[in-house]
Structure 1
């Protein structure tokens, strides 16, 4: 598979990239800056031809469009998109103290970015009946309306919107052999998750790749799930 992964330079994005190339896939690894991306460089040296690091700030539609044009010029199709890039701002801030700039910035990265990525890369995803192609939007249990907890306003609300976008994509792509899911990756030890997180990003990244590779039994109407492919409360 040719897989585009955003935010591929660290945390879950890097582990998804590593797991994908270990399984024989080719990854177009998006990162905001190509400077000092040592881990991706080392990975590309270990797996020659399987890791292509590209400058991709998901808030910049021109960069996304340029990537799509580059892939098209190289006659490369896209089998999967993993919208992983995300940000967590104003953690623990009350609504009374919430800076609205943080809300705007969060939506730019967590929602508008994935929407623009899909807008420009979906035309490069051939339709088919086998369902092997997919758009995986990394969401969060924080986006569950059922389990709303009254905090992390920018992050949680942006992930709720991400879930809606994923459901809309699932409906839109029905019959084209392209799946669309919102996936809660678990609370994992990353820069965002922190050291107290119980989850292992390596293990959870591999579970997410199992979802991509059709190794999980997922009901057709499920669109919001955890990293194991199990339905999450909407």
Structure 2
């Protein structure tokens, strides 16, 4: 598979890139900077020819469009998109004290970014069940389990769930799978050190979903890494 992963330089995005490469997939690793560094650069060297880092800032539509134009010029198709890039702002801040820029910034990265990625890369996807769009969501986006906090993050994740449902209906005739996936509470910069989950394990399970190794109810669109339905 030719897989585009956003936010690929750290956290869950890095682990997704590693897991996909280990299984022989080609990864277009989207990062905000113009050049890869750190662990991602080491990973590129470890899997020569399998991982290519590209500047893909989900807040900058020009970088997304440029990638799509390059792939089209090279006659490359996209088999899967994993919209992983995300941000958590305003944690623990009461609504009365919430800076509106935290709300706007969260929607720019957690919702508008994935929308722009889908806008430009969906035309490069061929039809069929092996094709997929996986949007990394969160249990915080569940209306059923809504809690009075983390407003920017939770509301933007509810929105990405809605986008996933709409897209699932939109591409249904093409056979493309679409899921919003709760990766679990995992040890990343966002999840923190107290998180019980392992991002590498979560990433492997998400690649299992991508490879259709996980049994999922065809009606489901908001799921956990085991393919089980999440409360909407």
> 4+ residue runs of structure 1 moved beyond 3 angstroms?
none
Question: 1:58-137, aligned counterparts within 5 Å?
Answer: 58-128=58-128, 131-137=129-135
Q: How far is 1:61 from its partner?
A: 0.6
The Cα of 1:227 is off from its aligned counterpart by 1.1
TM-score, with length taken from structure 1: 0.98
Q: Give the CA deviation at 1:138.
A: 0.1
Three-state SS of the structure 2 residue aligned to 1:146 is coil
Cα offsets for 1:76-116 (capped at 9, x unmatched): 10000000000000100000000001100100000000000
Name the residue aligned to 1:150. Answer: 148
**Map of 1:182 onto structure 2:** 180
5+ residue gaps, structure 2, are none
- 1:196 aligned residue: 194
Larger deviation: 53-62 or 32-41? 32-41
Residue 228 of structure 2 corresponds to 230
Q: Distance in 1 between matches of 2:72 and 2:199?
A: 32
Measure, in 2, the Cα distance between the counterparts of 1:73 and 1:197: 43
Q: 1:119-149, CA deviations, whole angstroms, 9 ceiling, x for partnerless residues? A: 0000000113xx0110000000000000001
Shift of 1:37: 1.6
TM-score (ref. length: structure 2): 0.99
Q: Which residue of 1 is the match for residue 32 of structure 2?
A: 32
Q: Which whole-Å deviations, capped at 9, do the CAs of 1:46-101 have from their partners, x for residues lacking one?
A: 11110000011101111100000001111110000000000000100000000001
Deviations 1:207-234 (A, max 9, x none): 0000000001111110000111110000
Report the secondary structure of 1:122's partner residue: helix
In 1, are the aligned partners of 2:78 and 2:125 still within 8 Å (CA)?
yes
Shift of 1:40: 1.5
Deviations 1:184-209 (A, max 9, x none): 00000000000000000001100000
- Residue aligned with 1:180, SS: strand
Q: Distance in 2 between matches of 1:45 and 1:160?
A: 37
For residue 161 of structure 1, the aligned residue among 152, 159, 162 is 159
| 1:175 Cα offset (Å) | 2.0
Q: In the TM superposition, what are the counterparts of 1:41-52 in structure 2 within 5 Å?
A: 41-52=41-52
